[in-house]
Structure 1
Amino acid sequence: MKRTLIVTDSTSDIPPELARELGIEVVPLKLMFGEESFRDGVDMTPEQFYDRLPRSPQLPTTSQPSPVEYMDVYRSILAKHPGSSILSFHISSGLSGTYQSAVLAKSMLEEEGEQITVVDSLSASYGFGLLVVQAARWAEEGKPPEEILEAVERLRRSRKLYFLVDTLEYLQKGGRIGKASAILGTLLNIKPILSIDEEGIIYAVEKVRGRKKAVARMIELFKADLPGVDHINVAVGHTAEPAAGEEFLKELAGHFSLNEQVLTNVGPVVGSHVGNGTLAVFIWPA
């Protein structure tokens, strides 16, 4: 029977049990601590990553799956489901070469490639993971690929997201800010609030003194982004600290009626740039 199958990469930060439930194929990126290489979410869990990150003398590096890895995944799916379509969603091309690898794999498959659509999410973490999850739900309902893609784009435009970074250390290590700024920011207890623009690039929204004020400011930003909206769906990404995510949900529940609620980990790829203690919040109208 012809179906629409969903593929993504591990930076979508979809909870593993949810990906299994919806039949989403997740292709892992690789993470390197020096000479040691790990498949994201396979050989190294977020818990292991965030335990090791503060003790690592150098910032870990990441690499996207090769086109051959994507070819193998696509061929395997199409062999099991002849005549079916594949929608393959990936982290913003402005942040990683993952999307380009998938595009190259599609082009190398010739006739089979016509059954594959590769999507640049222009986002990161569950900012596009939520799009993938909803695409998989629509696919289960039997919606055709074109209809799913149109609905995903509408959802992408209505979704709002912010990252609250607990420390400037990893932005400094990654070359995003100077060392002097990082030291001064740490002394002043500065907590940056980040987001992702329409071109899929991370940018600084505001810098707030103190975590409590920063959390309150994030909620203010969401209220300004969603005027007149009461009922929302929300996902909170945390750095292997579910209690921090649950606490934010309680704060948010004082301002919105929460429908779908997801707690997930900010994965190692994004985590290597923002570090421990980060909160990533993704909201879309219910």
Structure 2
Amino acid sequence: MTHTVIVTDSTADIPEELAKKHGIHVVPLRLQFGGESLLDGVEISAKEFYDRLDKATELPTTSQPSPADYVRVYEQIQEEHPGASILSIHISSGLSGTYQSALIAKSMMEENVDLTVVDSLSASYGFGLLVVHAARLASQGMAVEDIVIAVEQLRKERKLYFLVDTLEYLQKGGRIGKAAALFGTLLNIKPILSIDQEGIIYAVEKVRGRNKAVARMIELFKQDLGNIGKINVAVGHTANPATAESFLTELSGHFELEEVVLTNVGSVVGSHVGRGTIAVFIWPA
């Protein structure tokens, strides 16, 4: 039976217990925050990140793993699983240099290593769910090339929206002007964001008031999915699971929920959207 090991990076926002269950190797990005260099999800938790972000005067910056970081992981896998195939799936190349770094690492490996690197064209659990799906298929002995096809099909079927609670971090990150942020805050504007087919974040709509924004997100999902019946859903939150559970309650009034995952929106996306963000990822059951 074919043995394939799955590798990803910390921006996939896969809950730790889920990554361990499926044997997924997670390579952390690095966070530069207040003069400290911290490994995302290893040396700083999501709760610690958002608590610090609330008080920060300057946004943290992030950097992708180096090619050497990936080489160490790939070589470790080769030592532990001689002859195994490696499938490495990463955050959109339109949002980070992480995928490119993994490609460079591939070029540094010996030619006889069966290593495939995939650009997910997505972020957060929007591709974390693809990674988990890949790991499940790998455990069934599916060949790498077939796993990649299945992952690409799921990416096309999956729908996602981010509801941003404040315009502050979009303004700090240079995504919108200060005047627009101030005006939007006064009007209680809640942007709904998504990721396009090129893997770039874009604004879908701006809705006044959080309750209306939540209702609009559900409307958008209903338009996207039609009469789909059962759905799988993951809700990302900013170290506040109660907000995710509240959204799930609303969603369950419109869809029959099968698999449900609650996870944190990690520091990379979180540094651009801030606390209070809800990220919702839906795919057919």
Instruction: Name the TM-score class by shorter chain.
Output: over 0.9
Q: Which residue of 2 aligns with 1:81?
A: 81
1:157-198 deviation line (CA, Å, top 9, x unaligned): 000000000000000000000000000000000000000000
Aligned partners of 1:168 and 1:182 also within 8 Å: yes
The one-letter amino acid paired with 2:185 is T
The one-letter amino acid paired with 2:205 is E
In 2, Cα distance between the equivalents of 1:155 and 1:231?
Answer: 15
* SS state at 1:7 partner: strand
Shift of 1:110: 3.3
Q: Which runs of 5+ in 2 are unaligned?
A: none
Aligned partners of 1:2 and 1:81 also within 8 Å: no
TM-score, L = length of structure 2: 0.99
Query: Is it true that 1:267 corresponds to 2:266 in the alignment?
Result: yes
Shift of 1:112: 4.1
Q: Which residue of 2 aligns with 1:33?
A: 33
Q: Which residue of 1 aligns with 2:144?
A: 145
1:52-99 deviation line (CA, Å, top 9, x unaligned): 101011000000000001011001101111111000000000000000
Q: Which residue of 1 aligns with 2:4?
A: 4
Q: RMSD value over aligned CA atoms?
A: 0.8
Q: Which residue of 1 aligns with 2:92?
A: 92
1:15-48 deviation line (CA, Å, top 9, x unaligned): 0010001100000000111320110000000010
The one-letter amino acid paired with 2:22 is L
Q: Which runs of 5+ in 1 are unaligned?
A: none
The one-letter amino acid paired with 1:134 is H
1:101-143 deviation line (CA, Å, top 9, x unaligned): 0000001113144x11000000000000000001001111111
TM-score, L = length of structure 1: 0.98
Q: Which residue of 1 aligns with 2:167?
A: 168
* SS state at 1:79 partner: helix
Aligned length: 285
The one-letter amino acid paired with 1:80 is E
Residues 68 and 243 (structure 1), Cα distance of their counterparts in 2 relative to 1, 3 Å cut: same
| Percent identity over paired residues | 72
